[in-house]
Homo-oligomer: A and B are copies of this chain.
Amino acid sequence: MAGNSFGRIFRITTYGESHGAGIGVVIDGCPSGLDIDESKINLELQRRKPGQSRLTTQRKEDEGFEILSGVFEGKSTGMPINLFIKNKDQRSKDYSHIAQSYRPSHADMTYDKKYGHRDYRGGGRSSARETAARVAAGAIAKQILESEGIHISAGVTQVGSLKLNTKIDQIDWTTIESNDVRCPDIETAKAFEALILDVRKKGDSIGGVVTCYIEGCPIGLGEPVFDKLHAELGKAMLSINAVKGFEYGSGFEGVEMMGSDHNDEWYEDNGTLKTKTNFSGGIQGGISNGMPIYFNVAFKPVATIMHDQESVNKDGEATTVQGKGRHDPCVVPRAVPIVEAMAALVLVDYLMLSKTNTLS
């Protein structure tokens, strides 16, 4: 109810604040007998970590994690898995500027009014640091998906008004980690990178788009009506900090098409049903149809910038919020593993759920 849990069967609950003891996640409903590869969890945490390149905030976070429960002799037991990441970079700082003032386009004001009492240090629970817990859980979800032949890729396809122009089915996702910006095209990556560095220099921030592409998803994931697969993917993505939009398949561009062009005609290819086009984005009637699933996630320019901004304090008095500290000029390079993690969590949950659709 209170918003810190996600999923039905494979259900996660994250906890923790940016500058408290740490952050973590309890996974309830992880199937038993799964080999838990800690290095893969660590790898994903490294991909999300701040300070990994010139493009990201220089705040250091050592993402060492501990498994507090649910794993025995390297395998899941079916019991709750608690992954805990201690906070280490908690310099004793003066947070009075956040405690009293409402930073523009942050959650300061809404948390304050909703809860009356909040942990304002570094944004507390509203900090994007919370997403590390998702990434850790997602790394386990990915291990399940891999064993089922489902592969999730994601990359940056837009920064500001610069866009990657490659068609969705021609993108080479293997190149993502070859550049700091995580764009699946080396030339475009350079342009993205130059733009981000320029924005950083100005102490400003800029938005971007992450595109996700899922191959090997079996037919039948997704529940009809309210829990359509794309509706849950949409909610998952929109729950990530700074996300403003979600579209799958033809998305907003599909609006401009005629049905006769947009409809994906079926054909049979060596015993497998396929569609000639894939404007459906691999999902029909809310249920996966075996074709690749793909979607775009829009991230706004992050709210923390190095400029002074006008605002008000708790009492409604005018004040100035000073630009200082460390920030991400563009969040999308680090958002890539988060998008992948949330996609993995949705797919594993729906995969487990699909076992209950029929008796056999």
Contacts and interface: CB of A to CB of B under 8 A. Distances in A.
A100 interface: no
A212 to B, nearest CB: 14
B245 A79 contact: no
Interface string A218-241: 011011111110111011101100
A217 to B, nearest CB: 12
A300 interface: yes
Interface stretch (A41-49, A107-115, A164-172, A176-184): A107-115
A296 to B, nearest CB: 8
Contact of A247 (B21, B245, B284, B312): B245
B303 A17 contact: no
A194 interface: no
A72 B119 contact: yes
Contact of A28 (B13, B21, B300): B13
Contact of A262 (B69, B225, B300): B300
B8 A1 contact: yes
A15 interface: yes
Contacts of A255: 158, 160, 207-209, 244, 298-300
B82 A124 contact: no
A263 B15 contact: no
A239 B226 contact: yes
Interface stretch (A55-63, A185-193, A271-279): A271-279
Given A69-B20, A235-B235, A357 B31 contact: yes
B260 A305 contact: yes
A10 B13 CA distance: 14
Copies in the complex: 4
A98 interface: no
A24 B81 CA distance: 11
Nearest to A126: B285
A109 B273 contact: yes
A260 to B, nearest CB: 5
A194 B322 CA distance: 53
A264 B81 CA distance: 32
B245 A72 contact: no
B69 A17 contact: yes
B244 A104 contact: no
Interface string A72-87: 1101111111101000
30 contacts: A4-B79, A4-B225, A15-B68, A15-B82, A17-B72, A20-B72, A24-B82, A31-B357, A68-B84, A72-B119, A72-B124, A75-B117, A78-B114, A102-B273, A104-B264, A106-B284, A109-B284, A114-B220, A116-B358, A125-B224, A160-B255, A206-B259, A207-B257, A207-B262, A231-B234, A231-B239, A244-B252, A245-B245, A259-B305, A260-B307
What are the 10 A-B residue pairs with the smallest beta carbon separation, nearest first? A107-B285, A3-B223, A245-B247, A205-B259, A207-B255, A3-B227, A110-B287, A259-B301, A235-B235, A15-B80
Given A109-B289, A111-B285, A244-B255, 5 more contacts: A15-B26, A16-B80, A109-B273, A111-B224, A271-B316
